[in-house]
Amino acid sequence: MKTRVRAVDVDHPEPEIIEEAAAILSQGGLVAFATETVYGLGADATNAEAVGRIFEAKGRPSFNPLIVHVEGVPHARTFTTAWTESAQRLADRFWPGPLTLIVPKTPAIPAIVTAGGPSVGLRVPAPKVARALIARVGAPLAAPSANRSNRISPTCAEHVLADLDGRIDLILDSGPTTVGLESTVLDLTSAPARILRPGPIGWHDLAPFFKEGDLAGPTSPEAPPPDRPSSPGMLAVHYAPRTRALRVESVRDVFDVAWPERAGVLAFERLDRDRLPEHVVVIEHPDPIGAAQNLYASLHALDAQGLDLIVVAMPPAGGAWDAVRDRLRRATTPLEA
């Protein structure tokens, strides 16, 4: 298979390019496209055989469920047996946007999408390209991140091509994504509702839309992963570079590392570079929003340099940093003292 790349205008998607991509999806093929979070690998979510190709292309385990992207609330309601007042309030506020709602599914969503579970994650992506594609296909799109399983998520078309060239039919290149981290996943089938995957929309953003006690408190990103995930992004190892990647809890610990000749460091506050060997590649993101937007791009950049070691100095716990910490904890292993 030869993977083609088509540039598409982010503000005014060319109808002929959308038509080309929609035809591939309608015939059971795979198309990568940008959401506001990361690039997704799309297939017709109602076509079990097409969805199976996602798992094959990514090397993704079948027990890891997929998120389904829909055109809007009316579209979402056709794929759930219980659209609650809470779901409507949240959709009114956060859709289109990086919030996935876990709701009971209808038989229209095949079991392969949900890993055999009774519920499905639905969301409405923000970019015009993504929504135009869903509308033209006339079906929801199952779309996990467009990369090999457990590897760094892609935030530009080049990342997708490097990982999946020859494995998928088409990549729609609409430039870099704007948010940079996967959506928040909120389970509305549990009582109380619960965040399964932290993301751009935090607990404090969601809490005003619930009565007291109806939303579980923030889950520690250090909590152990479940044996069988009920949401994407819950596996112990995920988002990982090919380069050996270790984490330390403080930038102070960076200066005690025994650095090999080819090494890099990713930090979330300013480092005293005079205390590091000159050959160490340094990337810094002291702002949480900028860190989220550039996290995967930074990991890709370090991974592409042929290093022997990447050291990540973890950002502080709590608040806007929770989603970044969650991804880094799964992408790295702790540096042993």
Q: What distance in Å separates the CA atoms of residue 146 and residue 54, rounded to the nearest whole number?
A: 9
Q: Are residues 179 and 116 in the same domain?
A: yes
Q: Is 107 left (phi over 0), alpha (psi -120 to 50) or beta?
A: alpha
Q: Are residues 161 and 296 in the same domain?
A: no
Between 97 and 317, where is the model more confident? 97
224 within a domain of the structure (yes/no): no
Residue 11's pLDDT band, with cuts at 50, 70 and 90, is very high
Query: Is 62 one of the annotated binding-site residues?
Result: no
Query: Is 153 one of the annotated binding-site residues?
Result: yes
221 within a domain of the structure (yes/no): no
- Position of tokens 């979402």? 76
Q: Are residues 260 and 322 in the same domain?
A: yes
80 within a domain of the structure (yes/no): yes
Query: Is 273 one of the annotated binding-site residues?
Result: no
Q: Are residues 200 and 156 in the same domain?
A: yes
Q: Are residues 199 and 322 in the same domain?
A: no
- pLDDT score, position 233: 62
Query: Is 142 one of the annotated binding-site residues?
Result: no
Query: Is 183 one of the annotated binding-site residues?
Result: yes
| Segments of 135-226 assigned E as strands | 141-142, 170-173, 184-187, 194-197
Residue 337's pLDDT band, with cuts at 50, 70 and 90, is very low
Q: Are residues 288 and 140 in the same domain?
A: no
Average pLDDT of every residue of the chain: 94
Task: Give yes or no for a contact between 25 and 31, defined as CB atoms under 8 angstroms apart.
Answer: yes
Query: Is 119 one of the annotated binding-site residues?
Result: no
What is the tens place of the pLDDT at every residue in 121-173? 999 999 999 999 999 999 999 999 999 999 999 999 999 999 999 999 999 99
Q: Are residues 158 and 250 in the same domain?
A: no
What is the tens place of the pLDDT at every residue in 166-211? 999 999 999 999 999 999 999 999 999 999 999 999 999 999 999 9
Residue 228's pLDDT band, with cuts at 50, 70 and 90, is low
Lowest mean pLDDT among 59-73, 103-117, 311-325: 311-325
151 within a domain of the structure (yes/no): yes
226 within a domain of the structure (yes/no): no
Query: Is 230 one of the annotated binding-site residues?
Result: no
Task: Give yes or no for a contact between 184 and 202, defined as CB atoms under 8 angstroms apart.
Answer: yes
32 within a domain of the structure (yes/no): yes
- pLDDT score, position 90: 99
Query: Is 4 one of the annotated binding-site residues?
Result: no
Average pLDDT over residues 227-244: 75
Q: Which domain holds residue 323?
A: 245-334
Single residue among 209, 237, 268 that ends a domain in this structure: 209
Chain mean position to CA 184: 9
Query: Is 64 one of the annotated binding-site residues?
Result: yes
| Number of domains forming the structure of the chain | 2
162 within a domain of the structure (yes/no): yes
Q: Are residues 188 and 250 in the same domain?
A: no
CATH code of the domain in which 181 resides: 3.90.870.10
Nearest 5°: CA angle at 108, between 125 and 184?
A: 30
49 within a domain of the structure (yes/no): yes
The residues with which 247 forms a beta bridge, in sequence order, are 312, 334
